[in-house]
Chain A
Amino acid sequence: MNLKKFFATICAASLLIAGCGSDNAAKVDETSQEAIIKLGMITHLNASEKQMEEYFFKVQEKSRAKVLNHVPKFYDNLNLMIMGIESSNVDQISVYECVANYLMANNNKFEVAKADWISGLEDNFCFAVKHEDTALTADLNKILDEMKSDGSLNKMIDEYIINVDKGKTPPAIELPKFDGAETIKIGVTGDLPPLDFVDTDGKPAGFNTALLAEIAKRLNKNIEIIQVESGARAAALNSDQIDVVFWSIVPVSDVFPADVDKPEGIDLSKAYFKDNITHLKLKE
């Protein structure tokens, strides 16, 4: 008897749930002609998800896209975002072009998703330094300027980011050591290949080691690379566990304010790299 009752309740409950579900789905279809696309994005260093969402809708509005059908969903890092799209929590993911190329070369499940409104959307990559460390920021800016004018920065970007062989990882560059010189601690996440990643031997490699080795050489100072979880980067910087956060984003757009992702009391260096934003989706 009890069993019968139990099954009856379950059936009733499932009918109820199914009924509600189909109701909701019908409503969504009526209100928007184009289907909503859930878009995965990486949480920023400082800008809150709500802020980012507001700007995000502004960019869509400004573009010629008639329907605001991209809704952002935020992930802590690239890994989680890829898992999100693989389990269809989101339909598309927003990544940098170099990351997208690397991703497609290593995981053949992905392809580029077309979205007109993102064309021309770019982000600058900078160092984040504490506001008190004005000397360090000035040094970094000076070296970046020098490297830009003598072309070594562009060469590095070509070698370690743009022209990475398909399916390969760029090599690690050894950091120079100066006895008795002071040490700058640089926090990296290891979450954004080919810019920032950790090689099979457990040590950071690729563009970040190349750039940091060059900076160490020009500064005549030791550089120590410390890997920090991306969620703990701001805390690490504020508590002096690291002196520099290796990548911080400054959007290049008239909609986004330049300091949208700048935490209080922190200065950003000049940009060392600029990349377009691309959307990826799973192959059908």
Chain B
Amino acid sequence: MEFSEVIYKIFLKDGGWLTILNGLWVTVQISALSLLLGTLFGSLLCFFRMSNFAPLRIFAQIYISIIRGSPVLMLLMLLFYGVFARTGISPVIVAVITFSMHTAAHVAELLRSALMALDKGQVEAARTLGFSKIQAFKLVTLPQLVRIAKPVYQSTIVNLIQWTSVIGYVTITDLTRVINNIASRTMQPMITITGGMIIYLAISYLVYGIFHWTDGRRAQ
């Protein structure tokens, strides 16, 4: 069989590409939702982690160290086949919860490191000049925070997209699952999985591209 024929059979024949797009859509949906919720929860967690109130700080510390120290697949299986096993919650929701929890821990840490990189004196100076706490945060801390945290945040997003490739374990048909199905059906795993990798690579570069574009706009 010729190579082009094999490629056609794997990726295009009988609308196979539509199934791949469906899988891609599931991956994108779960990643986007998890990113949104994870960022919100992560910011809150970072606030807890930096607070002067000990119980909150310790809670955040423990949470971050447990989540960051364990593989996300274990957490996913534990939640789906353990905690939410007989509740009838849809696997997609469990996946979003898991990846939000996971992303939150990472976002909290990246925000904390960005905050620690800032010069405390600037906020103090702003406060002496009569800015309120909120104003000082909005006008002095936030712009610098965004600039410092952005590169790490971008790689967190790309990591998140790749982590979602394990959700086949909880009965969700995402891009990886679709690729595996095609590989089984066509019996050409090498070529099919290379194709799947190129798709993941393309999403990652799309994310990098978006960040690069926003950087360029800021510079203007």
Contact = CB atoms under 8 A, between A and B. Distances in A.
Sorting the interface of chain B by its residue count into under 10, 10 to 19, 20 to 34 or 35 or more gives: 20 to 34
A202 B181 contact: yes
Interface in B111-162: none
Contacts of B190: 82-83, 86
Contacts of B169: 228-229, 231-232
Contact of A239 (B14, B85, B193): B85
Interface in B1-42: 1, 13-16, 18-19, 22-23
B58 to A, nearest CB: 32
A98 B173 CA distance: 26
The binding surface of chain A is classed by DSSP as: mixed
Interface string B70-86: 00000001001110011
Nearest to B177: A227
A81 B183 CA distance: 12
Given A79-B180, A198-B181, A202-B22, A228 B171 contact: yes
A202 B19 contact: yes
Contacts of A200: 13-16, 19, 185
Interface string A210-245: 000000000000000011110110011011110000
Contact of B189 (A83, A169, A235): A83
Given A190-B181, A200-B16, A108 B173 contact: no
Given A232-B170, A241-B85, A197 B188 contact: no
Contact of B188 (A106, A235, A238): A106
B171 A198 contact: no
B51 interface: no
B209 interface: no
B101 interface: no
A106 B188 CA distance: 8
A193 B80 CA distance: 28
Nearest to B15: A200
B133 to A, nearest CB: 48
Contacts of B55: none
Contacts of A192: 184
Contacts of B177: 227, 229
Contacts of B77: 232, 235
A30 to B, nearest CB: 36
A197 B181 contact: yes
A131 to B, nearest CB: 17
Interface residues of A, number: 36
Nearest to B13: A200
A238 B184 contact: no
Interface string B171-206: 101000110110111111110010000000000000
A120 to B, nearest CB: 26
A187 B19 CA distance: 20
A241 B190 CA distance: 32
Contacts of A239: 80-82, 85-86
B86 A193 contact: no
A240 B82 CA distance: 10
A82 B171 contact: no
B15 A197 contact: no
A202 B173 CA distance: 9
Nearest to B20: A202
A169 B185 CA distance: 8
A79 B168 contact: no
B184 A198 contact: yes
A197 B173 CA distance: 13
A102 B187 contact: yes
B80 A229 contact: no
Interface in A43-72: none
Interface of B: 1, 13-16, 18-19, 22-23, 77, 80-82, 85-86, 168-171, 173, 177-178, 180-181, 183-190, 193
Given A197-B185, A241-B81, 8 more contacts: A107-B187, A193-B184, A201-B14, A201-B15, A201-B19, A202-B19, A202-B178, A227-B177
15 contacts: A77-B180, A78-B184, A82-B189, A83-B193, A190-B180, A190-B184, A193-B187, A197-B184, A202-B19, A227-B173, A228-B169, A229-B169, A235-B77, A239-B86, A240-B85
